[in-house]
Amino acid sequence: MITTVIADGKKEYDFIELLKSRAQNSDKNVIPIVSEIIENVKTNGDKAVYDYTVKFDGKAPEKAEISADEIDAVISECDPKYIETVRKAAKNIEDFHKRQVQQSWLTTKNNGVIMGQRIRGLKRVGIYVPGGTAAYPSSVLMNAIPAKIAGVEEIVMCTPPMKNGKPNPNILAAAKLAGVDRIFLMGGAQAIAAMAYGTESVPKVDKIVGPGNIFVATAKKLLYGTVDIDMIAGPSEILIIADKSANPKFLAADLMSQAEHDKLASAILLTDCEELANQTVKELERQVQTLSRNEIINSSLDNFGAIIVCSDMKQAVLFANELAPEHLEVCCENPMEYVGKLDNAGSVFLGNYSPEPLGDYFAGPNHVLPTSGTARFFSPLSVDSFVKKSSFICYTEEALRNDAQDVVRFADTEGLTAHANSIKVRFEDIDFE
């Protein structure tokens, strides 16, 4: 079961180092596997993707792309109540992300100089929607809605087929509602490589976004540069900081909500209350028996789960910032007090009634979030992830004349005479120093 460590001034620091190194090293073994897949797809295109789909997903569809007619036929199988829920979630996600939109701007200075920044949607993006051990229609919404708001011209989606080689109807319904343009049934590193290089059927994209397991996350990392990526959004993580006011039943449930994603998922509790830690262990043992994915949960908690009884809540905050988790729940008496102290987390859930799964599906903020400690420098998926910015400058002759001497001096200092010359030829009447 989960490892519990009690603060003694050293053990807890050593354990935090261990947890950090676990998160960073987990992809070492898969790099050679993923590199081979990428090379094969680059060389052999659709044929390689087909073979990997058979190998990893069970059965490959004859044609990887799903036609519009097929989509409509499959969607008719969905439960209308589910469609209604998707619509409500989509509305919340749209409302949240619309607030992120940045406008192009220009400014005119007193001397007539105009400059500004043009912001526009990327031309073609690839969104990855996981579908291995579970199907993720919620990830379709989280990827596609901000892309649409950003004005992306074409959204290409890849998701693995179900075991019978067919598409998951609930994923297709979410894709249609969110405005995805083309859908391909393929998963894992091979799907990422197909979108990065293009194949006979899959178009090459400018950027790949979206979460996935360790094979997907590693492929994105290796292909960065051939294509842009959003971040490393690998196996899920939850870290909870809790004081004695927290409810162990809620804590255990929330820890396991992320552990059930993947054997490599991590679930960590930091508390200053030993009694709460013990009660949470008991709750984990009790509740896990009632959950369908208990095998994955047990493996995840065994290998990547931890409860640390900290010396105080200040130490809990310090460790939370060190670990930089994907999701951070604050189950403390005054949760708002912590907001300004938590610097490194993908998404923060405040109070006993903001459980992590609410954010996964419904509240509005994006659930595609940085993992493996990369929340230190990556941000959640957002409208920003789908735009490109170009700046522009327009000087008048008079304005350039005024700045000419300074620009020439800078160019001369760098030893770049051609740069200086481009200014000088415009003002042959100026005697440059």
Ligand X SMILES: N[C@H](CO)Cc1c[nH]c[nH+]1
DSSP-derived pairing of the beta strands 347-350 and 327-331: parallel
Judge residue 134's burial from the number of C-beta atoms within 10 Å of its C-beta, 0-12 exposed, 13-18 middle, 19 or more buried.
exposed
> Least CB distance from residue 415 to ligand X, whole Å?
51
φ/ψ region of 188 (left if φ > 0, alpha if ψ in -120 to 50, else beta) reads left
367 is catalytic: no
Nearer to ligand X, 60 or 348 (CB): 348
Q: Which residue is nearest to Zn ion (CB)?
A: 360
Of 71-79, 181-189, 246-254, 420-428: span binding ligand NAD (CB under 6 A): 181-189
What is the widest separation between alpha-carbon atoms in the chain?
87
Residues forming beta bridges with residue 121, ordered by sequence position: 387
Q: List the interface residues with ligand X, window 137-196 (CB under 6 A).
A: 138-139
Judge residue 334's burial from the number of C-beta atoms within 10 Å of its C-beta, 0-12 exposed, 13-18 middle, 19 or more buried.
exposed
Nearer to ligand NAD, 151 or 355 (CB): 355
97 is catalytic: no
Of the candidates 97, 237, 283, 327, the residue annotated as catalytic is 327
Binding site as annotated, residues for NAD(+): 128, 190, 213
Q: List the interface residues with ligand X, window 317-356 (CB under 6 A).
A: 326
Of 42-50, 72-80, 134-142, 403-411: span binding ligand NAD (CB under 6 A): 134-142
Amino acid (one-letter) located at 17: E
Question: Between the CA atoms of 92, 98, 100 and 106, what dihedral angle is there, to the nearest 10 degrees?
Answer: -170
| Closest of 334, 377, 325 to residue 356, by C-alpha | 325
Using CB under 6 A as the binding rule, whether residue 136 contacts ligand X is answered as yes
What residues contact 331, with CB distance under 8 A and at least 6 apart?
240, 241, 242, 243, 245, 246, 247, 250, 251, 351, 352
Using CB under 6 A as the binding rule, whether residue 61 contacts ligand NAD is answered as no
Q: List the interface residues with Zn ion, window 359-388 (CB under 5 A).
A: 360
The backbone torsions φ and ψ at residue 6, rounded to the nearest 5 degrees and listed phi first, read: -105, 135
Nearer to ligand NAD, 213 or 315 (CB): 213
Nearer to ligand X, 376 or 409 (CB): 376
Of 119-127, 193-201, 339-347, 353-361: span binding Zn ion (CB under 5 A): 353-361
Nearer to ligand X, 139 or 271 (CB): 139
The backbone torsions φ and ψ at residue 24, rounded to the nearest 5 degrees and listed phi first, read: -80, -30
Using CB under 6 A as the binding rule, whether residue 130 contacts ligand NAD is answered as yes
- The three-class DSSP label of residue 278 is helix
| Closest of 220, 271, 245, 215 to residue 378, by C-alpha | 220
| Closest of 410, 71, 32, 322 to residue 189, by C-alpha | 32
Of the candidates 326, 329, 356, 367, the residue annotated as catalytic is 326
Of 185-193, 244-252, 276-284, 299-307: span binding ligand NAD (CB under 6 A): 185-193
245 CB neighbour count, 10 Å cutoff: 13
Binding site for ligand X (CB under 6 A): 136, 138-139, 236, 258, 326, 360, 367
Q: Just list the catalytic residues.
A: 326-327
Binding positions for ligand NAD, rule: CB under 6 A: 33, 56-57, 130-134, 136, 139, 160, 187-189, 211-213, 215-216, 233, 235-236, 261-262, 265, 326, 367-369, 371
